[in-house]
Copies of this chain bind each other. A is one copy, B any other.
């Protein structure tokens, strides 16, 4: 690979990139959604066209398997196409028109029309564990570009070769598609990371990573002279609650699904089920046997980086050393570590809930054995904010109160499934209360993620010719709008698509 791309590594270079990106954003913001959609489509096409090379680079950088990486690339390209379609329909604009009304209840109402506009330059931090889906042209970048923003991407050190080559492909594709120069650029290293979050022209941050690293950057973003939104996805334990009937009817199947889910990507998923609540019915040997059998099928790989390996082993050993925790499946510390399963009683968890707050980023998890399903809502309350929470139940299991409790704790609540695997769709929400994220109302997956990088502007009594097309009476783009309180669907015929 002969890369010619040089990321910005100093404050001065970040400043230059931010100024270019700001100019590019001003151009992008003035385009039609159809034009921006064509850029996204070109990016999807470029990812697919270069899949073989990119997957090879990714495998070399990350130890992840080829099928997994290929799936991730397909997902990233699909996401770009879906976002292109979403902005063509105008949904992200949330165009709302209130005509002047002399009889409005609080006094005469002027003509007010509101539309979402892009925020400006967005800083996006690549994640270690998703070299495509949450990195150079992952969800944060795709949604920021869809919104009309420019993107400065902070490369993750764990897959630098891949990142540089992906960025080259992205920049070339954008250029060929007619996007303004500087709309996408990369920065690298700690100095550049801090300069990115501090730069006055940077108006929002998208981040996926550790709680410690994310919180440090959040604090910088919140402490700026002009604070900016920080959409950080930090840590999540993703509890799974198995109810008595489900456990009685299909404990082996559940343990197999659990083993498969918590070891997916060697346990390096933000949605890894880190704790499984099961009834305490004293079948320790059977559980241990089932898990051992299921885990024997897992293809072991190295963790993403030596640093992650080290912190994984430390976190796992720390949890294993907590009071009342014992080992069900020991696992190993090897370079390709065998998965570990721990266990603890619910009574102990009530005394020392810390065991529910320690993320073990890697192939380890803990069982919590409860006496009575009536305990489960109170146990759920001991959890911090989560990306996901899952319930396994059968017909006779009463899950209503537990689901209500989990609604207060998590961004996504699943039934009889596993939290790994996050589809990109209209209804998806990948977020949750802190520390799952720093912005509990925002999602980093799905079409709703585009809105994070926009802000509304209302226009009062503006002449039709100066109004943004989305708000013009004639609706030249044929988009869905809310008019005088009533939703008017998109006029697909006649729409500029």
Binding site for B on A (CB under 8 A): 30, 71, 74-75, 78-79, 81-82, 96-98, 104-107, 109-110, 112-114, 117, 119-120, 203, 218-219, 222-223, 226-227, 229, 385, 399-400, 403-404, 407-408, 410-417, 423-429, 431, 433-435, 438-441, 443, 448, 451, 454-463, 466, 480, 482, 484-485, 487, 489-490
Contact = CB atoms under 8 A, between A and B. Distances in A.
A425 B104 CA distance: 9
A223 B434 CA distance: 13
B439 A229 contact: yes
A433 to B, nearest CB: 7
A404 B29 CA distance: 10
A428 B459 contact: no
Given A109-B423, A399-B466, A487-B480, A119 B440 contact: yes
Given A97-B427, A456-B448, A433 B114 contact: no
A104 B385 CA distance: 30
A425 B79 CA distance: 34
16 contacts: A71-B107, A96-B448, A104-B423, A226-B435, A227-B434, A229-B441, A403-B466, A411-B456, A415-B460, A416-B461, A426-B482, A426-B484, A440-B455, A441-B451, A441-B455, A487-B490
B428 A458 contact: yes
Copy number in this complex?
2
A222 B484 CA distance: 37
Contacts of A104: 423, 425
Contact of A96 (B407, B426, B454): B426
A226 B385 contact: yes
Contacts of A82: 105
A482 B425 CA distance: 12
A112 B427 contact: yes
Contacts of A424: 106
A357 to B, nearest CB: 12
A79 B109 CA distance: 13
Contacts of A448: 96, 114, 456
B222 A423 contact: no
A423 B112 contact: yes
A448 B426 CA distance: 20
A413 B222 contact: no
Closest 7 CB pairs of A and B: A222-B222, A429-B458, A78-B106, A96-B427, A98-B427, A414-B460, A114-B427
Contact of A458 (B109, B411, B458, B482): B411
Q: Which of A104, A423, A451 has the most CB of B within 10 A?
A: A423
Contacts of A30: 404
